[in-house]
Amino acid sequence: MVVMSEDTPKALLSGRSARMSGPDADRTHQQGTFGEMERGVLTLSDVEIMYLLEKDKIMLIDRDGKALSMEDFLRLATEEDPDLWMRYLLYSDLRKRGYVVKPGFGPKLEYRVYRRGAAMGTEPAKYLVYGLVEGKPVAISEIAAVSSSAKLSKKELIFAVTDRQGEITYYDASEIDF
C-alpha cells in the first residue's frame, strides 16, 4: 500500500529507469543532484528511484497506472540486475552522508561522487568510489584499471568495502610510484 499526497511528483517506470516531466521534473532534479535532464524530461536511474521512493519524494507509476512501492520496484528490478541492492546500499550510504552521487564510467559497482556543497554542472566529481564486497575478490587488473581511470580523470579513488551485512567502510586508495 503506497500512501502519498496528491502532489507528490510522479515518475513513470520505463524499463529500469523512470521518467518525469514538467514542474515535477524540475522539482525532483534539485539543481542537478538527481537524474539526467534532457529537453525537459528527467530520467532517474534505478538507485535514484529506490532512494527517492524510500524518502517519499516521488511516486512510481507503472504502465498500467499502478503505483509501485520501493519493495515492489526492488523485486522487479532485481530480476534484471541481482546486484541492485548492493548498488543501492552504496548509493544511499553516500547520499546520506551528504554527497551528490552520479553513475561511474563502467558497468561495475562504481560511482562519481561530488564534494559536499559542489555546484552541480560547473565542477567535476571529486571522487571515484569503487565498491568491493566481502567474499568477492577482484582481479588485480581490475584494480589497476580503476586506479588509472581515477588518475586520468583526476579524481581521488575511494574503495568502499561492504561487509556481509551491508555495513560499509571507506578507504582512500592511491597508487604510488617508487
Partner 1 sequence: MDGIDQIEAELFGSRVLVLSKEKGAALYKAGFFGKPVNVHKPKDISEVNTQLELSLFEAMLLNQRGILKVRKGGRIIQNEELLCLSRKSYHLFDDLYMVYKDLRDKEYIVRPALKFGADFAVYRQGPGIDHAPYIIHVLPNSAEVGPIEIVRAGRLSHTVRKKFVLATIDRLQQRIYYYVFNWWKA
In terms of C-beta density within 10 A (0-12 exposed, 13-18 middle, 19 or more buried), how is residue 4 classed?
middle
Q: Is 171 in the site for partner 1 (CB under 8 A)?
A: yes
Binding residue for partner 1, selected from 30, 75, 119, 144, defined by CB under 8 A: 144
158 binds partner 1 (CB under 8 A): yes
Q: Is residue 146 at the binding interface for partner 1, with CB under 8 A as the rule?
A: no
CA distances from 137 to 113, 132, 133 (A): 24, 8, 8
Q: Which of 39, 30, 160, 172 is nearest to 108 (CA)?
A: 160
Query: Exposed, middle or buried, 7 (CB in 10 Å: 0-12/13-18/19+)?
Result: exposed
Q: How many CB atoms are located within 10 Å of the residue 51 CB?
A: 21
Shortest spacing between CB 126 and partner 1, in angstroms: 12
6 near partner 1, judged by CB under 8 A? no
- Nearer residue to partner 1 within complex by CB, 12 or 145: 145
Distance between CA atoms of residues 50 and 95, nearest Å: 12
Q: Which is nearer to partner 1, 13 or 101 (CB)?
A: 101
Nearest distance, CB of residue 128 and partner 1, angstroms:
12
Cβ 34 to partner 1, closest distance in Å?
Answer: 20
122 grid coordinates: 560547473
Quick one: 107 or 135, whose CB is closer to partner 1? 135
Q: Does 83 bind partner 1 (CB under 8 A)?
A: no
Applying CB under 8 A, the site for partner 1 has a residue count of 30
Asked whether position 152 contacts partner 1 by CB under 8 A, the answer is: no
How many residues does the structure list for the chain?
A: 178
For binding to partner 1 (CB under 8 A), which residues are involved? 93-94, 97, 99, 132-141, 143-144, 147, 158-159, 161, 169-178
